[in-house]
Chains A and B, each alone.
Chain A
């Protein structure tokens, strides 16, 4: 584990009746779970819900007091499967993962769970990773709710609403025997705010107690003929029950005047964005008091036909605000209107873009267009008249460079790809498949290694068509997180069983680094509640892969290069796997920097390494950068009229990982790099010896200086 402490967060989880919580959305959800008597929680990390997992992992003590079981599941499928505990037992359970990739992985378990139905409330908290900053394919979780018939909550993005949705979700689940999914968008997860807390509640039946009184009912098993009965039950019983519950409890909300020529239907998560657009059009105030009626879908599946039709009554046109594609909600609502023979005209993706994020501008443009067309009288004069043209702002689209994410300063994965690039210079371009994780940044410049990713743990599996081998071996890359998530079975067992001739590189950075440093099986850390320290190489041997090379210091570019070359050229049969291990530098620095500062303060001997470039020696070709891309290895322009090109320069953020020197050496680049180790608090003998050396060196330097012209101090 990355040695981060969530003490402050855990204190917030202990708040009781009448107190106020201030913090992030995702932590508010965690607190709400405890207030609602959850019996077990689990999940799989990933943006934007990692924080929930991290806090829970550190809150073992609190969870123990409440009798709540916490499980860091191996993957999303395992997490969803854990909800099986709520099938027969009246225990509330919650799991979390990111959408839509997490739902993809979990879909088998989710489908079975939905078919069986639940007794205790089962809640899946999905962090929808869509739009700006997302690292995954742009899809919607919504489809899974529709295909498996579980209910989808999409609350308004403020803390009280999100917290309320957790309680509503459990009750809705229990009232309808159906699992419920609570969708929170990436910004809602990180939105800050306050809500009034309640006391935490122990589960009425704990998982421990349940083990003492086991239950089973074959009617719940997904086998014919019960599975046919499940389908009927979903439609005849659970769905109407859900509609009833949603109406009676008022889960969806209506704002604004009763009488109006138009109305707007909005996914709860987009309520704030819609209000902002109406504010800017002069139709709402800062408290959300709106002149246009709004029907807020805090439940986006199922859609309650009767409620929707009532909202539409007396209106000429209704706009649906629904982000992403396909437009499931709009289609469903159109069907409702059509079946009811309603004359109301439904607008949606005709004014909104079908694909892409609903940014402030998109929302303003679309809502403005809808209102201008459907109800121009509503709009104040300012909104109708176009603004006076502002000054012409110079176009910077050609100036501003793109800035995609990349490896951090000192990242141990950088030398692996530098080595790979060097090998490709010798042996030519290879077929390379990648996986999910930081290593995927290698597909971007300056490395441009790897051309496809098929999913978590599927890197080597994605090369399966090439398992038979050829002139050059296929290479796949997978992280340690991906390895344990699903890679061992889907990728490596697959390789071994099919006698693959391919090469796989496992990037092992000591824990699941990309998602925040969560422990996994091969973590090096001691973890009192988890089994760690299981080497990846051992697991590979276990599935029958014998050609395994362990590299314990990836910064050794020369060794990395030689091992990769060997894997690509050896005569050995079967899969060739390289486990490249070095700790994630981001997390390592978080841990070590304060310790180092303290040690220096206390007078202990500390060596602090950092790299530098002799600018007079650097010729400004930037070959080193094309093998690095390190944020701390940058360029600077010299004040020298003789030099046209900027030279390499290393800024103080350098952590002295060594990649620069190793690459300069292995690629035979140039002699401009040097490493400077500053020794703090040296031993007395060491200082004396160094002083003597410095005097000899100084004498030689002064002697030469005195015999020639010196231009020092001049640029």
Chain B
């Protein structure tokens, strides 16, 4: 039986804290001779290469092997399955099956976390026999990415299910390991498979199979080795590094003022302070220290009135969403962010533009007349906006998107200058609008008798995001959700309903889910 065939590796795994359950004897010895291995992958991941290696490995080590796959359109980024069966060569030909069956798989390789979930869902991972070798990285499905809010499926749920469903788990981010070693995931998964000890072949035999494959041998072997080590070492849960407190670097006088502001944050109740620290950093980065002080003034007033019995939840939410509201997305902010040296360095690093290579950077900007007018002083801007002719003219000038080469001087200087307009910002039409909107929103929230409802009104700020049309759509969703407030007034479940409305607004672009939810609210109000 394969599972018990490499006791050394299993003991090693156990020694390093990886979940290893005791081997169980196969129910029927006549079946014990066949090892069944399935690979669940996303089309385009190179599952075919991995399957080829496994087949070659088996044949080179005295096993008869058969592989099958379902190629075709499933390979075009869809979920796809490869299947291998093997048993020691004898003078008679074994009868292998052409597809994996639920409850009958010894080794399941999942080339992505949700594919591991799919394998469990399909019954290919069972506690009596299955070694699960899975990559923890995510290749998000379109349905997860489309959602205007957060539609990402929970990897934790899959991991929890895997711990129940699998006999043994070997999990690591095999995609990252492959990338770090200049190779692809098939190589690192092969390393994970070798380390799992689920196949009765030594590490050298795996490496020989890679060499026999003949393509990209060096990179594959590097990724294989790294994955082998990582699989043996991998703790099951990787803790994300804690967020470091913000330490501003800069001129002394600014640092002094910054410290004073930070001290004010530290005096706040603990749950608020954490968020306020991040918020303060964001608004100071957006504008200046004075703006930061304004943020704290506003926040402190709310903290003072807040209920410690509720854990200062309202203040904490204000700390978060007020910062987002104050650091709105305008042309100045975008231009500033786009021209920072840290950004240039980061991109050069990510794109591999090291010594001897040049980096060209093209920005895709498409400010509309509205954004341009927003930059004007409030009275002039408002007058322009009122004139259809002026807007038409501006509209014509800004009808086309601009492609700005920020590695070149003309475009860089333009954006650099725009990014330096912070002192001007407070006078702009946009700023006035944002302040008015913000104050109305805060007043609406703080005017609620129902504490939970006030918190939910604050949280509705999440609906406002994006630029141009997207921004307008966000604003309209924000308005429509809050229009339901009078209908909910006085209901004990008002906060819960507002939360539902907001969640619905984040479900789809057109706001169909929100329409339905609003209809429900109207039906009982």
Contacts and interface: CB of A to CB of B under 8 A. Distances in A.
Contact of A670 (B27, B123, B150, B467): B467
A257 to B, nearest CB: 17
B108 interface: no
A191 B146 CA distance: 37
Interface in A274-290: 275-276, 279-280, 282, 284-288
A445 B77 contact: no
B72 A133 contact: yes
B320 interface: yes
Contacts of B364: 660-661, 664-665, 671, 673-675
Interface in A411-465: 438, 441, 444-446
A224 interface: no
Contacts of A192: 55, 65-68
B416 A700 contact: yes
B77 A621 contact: no
Interface string B28-43: 1011011000000011
B344 A621 contact: no
B358 A678 contact: yes
A715 interface: yes
A680 B357 contact: yes
Nearest to A515: B72
A445 B466 contact: no
B94 interface: yes
A656 to B, nearest CB: 10
A406 B77 contact: yes
A625 B141 CA distance: 11
A674 B347 contact: yes
Nearest to B462: A644
Nearest to A694: B407
A399 B116 CA distance: 12
A578 to B, nearest CB: 22
Interface in A662-715: 664-671, 673-682, 686-687, 690, 693-694, 696-698, 700-702, 704-712, 714-715
Nearest to B327: A642
Interface stretch (B245-253, B446-454, B480-488): B245-253
B143 A402 contact: yes
Given A401-B144, A642-B320, A709-B258, A382 B359 contact: no
A39 to B, nearest CB: 30
Among B43, B95, B337, B465, max chain A CB count under 10 A is at B95
B401 A709 contact: no
B92 interface: yes
Interface in B153-167: 153-154, 157-158, 160-161, 164-165
A625 B31 contact: no
Contact of B148 (A284, A622, A666): A622
B99 A360 contact: yes
Contacts of A610: 351
B76 interface: yes
A482 interface: no
B240 interface: yes
Contacts of A674: 338, 347, 361-364, 406
B371 to A, nearest CB: 10
A641 B76 contact: no
A399 B128 contact: no
Given A623-B466, A642-B279, A665 B409 contact: no
Nearest to A447: B142
Given A635-B144, A641-B243, A686-B358, 9 more contacts: A382-B28, A394-B157, A396-B121, A397-B121, A400-B117, A610-B351, A616-B337, A623-B466, A696-B409
27 contacts: A132-B81, A133-B70, A157-B98, A286-B30, A286-B34, A287-B92, A287-B94, A359-B99, A361-B103, A392-B164, A393-B164, A393-B165, A400-B118, A612-B350, A617-B329, A623-B148, A625-B146, A644-B149, A645-B148, A674-B364, A693-B407, A697-B412, A707-B251, A709-B255, A710-B342, A711-B281, A712-B249
Interface of B: 27-28, 30-31, 33-34, 42-44, 55, 59, 65-81, 87, 92-104, 114, 117-118, 120-121, 123, 126-128, 138-150, 152-154, 157-158, 160-161, 164-165, 179, 240, 243-244, 246-251, 254-255, 258, 274-275, 278-279, 281-282, 284-285, 288-289, 320, 323-324, 329, 334, 337-344, 347, 350-353, 356-368, 401, 403, 406-409, 412-413, 416, 419-420, 462, 465-470, 474, 506, 509
> Sorted from nearest, which 7 A-B pairs have the closest CB atoms?
A360-B101, A133-B70, A665-B401, A47-B72, A405-B78, A619-B465, A701-B341
